[in-house]
Structure 1
């Protein structure tokens, strides 16, 4: 079976479901990598805000965006919450990375089981390699994870 990026293949009709399943699995792994990259950007934003707030007087007024509402707080109230959020995001990223590795192993096993070769792969190449993205993809756009304004 030879799978192409478009999902079509050169195979008998019975083999099309194998290719479709393989493509779906690859897309799931790409989605995980994209989410992990997005969360990494959120961690970077949290780090910037935390570093900035550590240098500010703890009684200083600041504003935090909570569920679309701007709430007035002090730096000493906001800083622990931001640090906690950053830790929680890090844990989620670890979980996603673990899931991506498991999906990569599953993809490799699936490729070997059904002898799937990607377009552009030679006959003897690619065995034992994952068809998964590297995880270094950069997500476009940014969601504000920090949502803090200091006055």
Structure 2
């Protein structure tokens, strides 16, 4: 599983001209599910996202987490994050999860997130989404789940 997080002042996801998810200060998380991902991968990365210290403290140092500031989390599925891009001029998606497995893992991630004290919003799995955001910083980080060697 791969997750790209962006610290945002606000973000929203629209589908067919209708807003389906919207947050203020917090994290926009773009989520890519690979074919071998399990619920444990989702749990591991959600924990990391919520506890990663990327928000400024009183001294302006990145020292506070999403949990610390009681921020909001917008989860958006994005299968292109798992693309293979090293060869050629066209991305390959053989490492990506099937649509059914991808939706299952993404839905489990959302369920886990909803068990936190955070305000959670989502995009719409598999939809053509328009994502808008005000990136705060900009601050952007990339996470991958740990895979056995």
TM-score interval w.r.t. the shorter chain? under 0.3
Bigger Rg, which one: 1
Give the structure-2-normalised TM-score.
Answer: 0.26
TM-score (norm 1): 0.25
- Which protein has the bigger strand share? 2
Judging by fraction of residues, say which structure has more helix. Answer: 1
